[in-house]
Amino acid sequence: MITENTPITFSDKLPQDVDVAIIGGGVIGIFTALFINRQGFKTIVLEKGRIAGEQSSRNWGWIRQQGRDEAEIPIMQHASRLWEEIDKELKGKCGFQRAGLMYIASSEEKLQQRQQWLSTAKSYGIDSLELDRQQLAKTLNQNQSQLYHQWLGAVCTPSDARAEPWQAVPEVAKLCHQEGVKIIENCAVRECQTSNGKLTALHTEKGLLKTSQAVLAGGAWSALFLKHHHIHIPQLSVRASVAQTTPLPELWQGNTADEKIGFRRRLDGGYSLALPDFIELFLGNNTLKNARTWLPVGKKYWNDLKFRMPVPSDYPDSSTAHQNWQADQQSPFEKMRVLNPTPPQKAIEMMQQRFGERFPIMKEVPILNSWAGMIDAMPDLVPIVDYVPQIKGLILATGMSGHGFGIAPAFGKIITELLQEKPPSYNINRFRFNRFNDGSKLILGPGI
Ligand SMILES: Cc1cc2nc3c(=O)[nH]c(=O)nc-3n(C[C@H](O)[C@H](O)[C@H](O)COP(=O)(O)OP(=O)(O)OC[C@H]3O[C@@H](n4cnc5c(N)ncnc54)[C@H](O)[C@@H]3O)c2cc1C
């Protein structure tokens, strides 16, 4: 796991000026840097902690089309092709495999919900299909009797994919660096400097950097950064935990989830396990302030949400982080170099137990490692990718809502177009900055 004890890999000197500065070295920031640099823009990535230290190395590694919001589907189809290309360029170092994905259902109601995806998939030419109990048993290398009492069937997308996030994002960062992108770790951006509403520079902890264009790809920290400029977005983050098993017998190579357990085969022969019904929300300032906007999501996920108090010190929504700071003072971004939440032991034990119960062939489910990440989300469960109206020259790409790893390369391309002031190749109206206060109705995306 990447933490603040991980040695620094990138320590370029802060230049006086750049064409484009990227705030945040997660998967969104890194892919944007790769593509904008390839257009001949002098580019820098400024990362407060370590490249991919937060969500971008901690996720499940699913690269999925299935179950996406319709506005994301064509972008995701492009992203999937881009992942394949980059992985080839990096000689397989991203661990990309088009190994498939399936959502399994244990009840008629859930199966019907999953089946709804099939007509959407068809209209976008995606190869999703339904598996009955027998086909599911065959796919999972199980004899049918073991599965008989558990599952009714599944909806599967063979062309969906997976990668190893903790390898993939740092490798793409190295590629950026080789191609001339400057990258500085342990370099928080404290605030934007503006003149007449236009971006002129960024105040970083290592000094002033002149630039007229920046991309805020700060994950769970974006709302706090904007709040410092009196700009509000209703972003929240939730804790999600993951466990890594030792190498175990192969079920199949793809990504899988039923209502209570998610599992993905890893390159090392183990599994990454997670609980789809265990989402932890710390009740902080932002939670209360945004409660009304978040009500529809709250209702939908009520049974899966676990409320926690207080917000741990120095987390983005903690009272310590919300204190104000000046450009020449330490900011909350430096106090917490890498947001590294502790996974609750109870959650890890539940993963072990549920996986073992479903697949007795595992006999035991030894856990090698476990971790958690703070998933940043928007109240309609789709991101914001847009210019920030209050600061000309600043683009916001955040709130990826639990599915930003897979789609990142194509959003990197779209942000590159916005930076060049070209019309984006896809319709990104759904991801507009102002949608929470322009009077439009909140349309809930399919999920995290
Ligand atoms: C447990 C878990 C499972 C997930 N599973 C999947 C999955 O299977 N598939 C999928 O597609 N997605 C998944 N996701 C979601 C996915 O990981 C995120 O959507 C994606 O990584 C977000 O990338 P990002 O670059 O926006 O943010 P992050 O990866 O969080 O990166 C933001 C970076 O910005 C830096 N930063 C913030 N503020 C500043 C500042 N002021 N100055 C400098 N640096 C700053 C931070 O230190 C951080 O490194 C999962 C997430 C989690 C936590």
pLDDT of 160 reads 98
Tell me, yes or no, whether 381 lies in a domain: yes
**Sequence letter at residue 320:** T
pLDDT in tens, 31-59: 999 999 999 999 999 999 999 999 999 99
Supply the pTM of this predicted model.
0.98
Question: Same domain for 128 and 171?
Answer: no
Tell me, yes or no, whether 137 and 258 share the same domain.
no
Are 111 and 95 in the same domain?
Answer: no
Mean pLDDT estimate for the chain: 96
Q: How many domains does the chain have?
A: 2
Q: Tens digit of pLDDT for each residue in 221-239?
A: 999 999 999 999 999 999 9
In tens, the pLDDT along 238-289 reads: 999 999 999 999 999 999 999 999 999 999 999 999 999 999 999 998 898 9
Same domain, 352 and 221: yes
446 domain residue, yes or no:
no
Ligand 1 centroid distance, CA of 59 (Å): 8
CATH of the domain at 33: 3.50.50.60
Asked if residue 53 lies in contact with residue 246, where contact means CB atoms within 8 angstroms, the answer is no
Task: Calculate how far, in angstroms, residue 98's C-alpha sits from the geometric centre of ligand 1.
Answer: 22
Residue nearest to atom 45 of ligand 1 (CA): 24
Q: Which domain holds residue 141?
A: 101-158
- Say what the pLDDT of residue 152 is: 94
Residue 1 lies in a domain: no
Lining residues, ligand 1, CB within 6 Å? 23-29, 46-49, 53-56, 58-62, 188-189, 217-221, 225, 240, 242, 333, 373, 375, 398, 400, 402-406
Residue that terminates a domain, selected from 109, 140, 158: 158
Cα(146) to ligand 1 centroid in Å equals 37
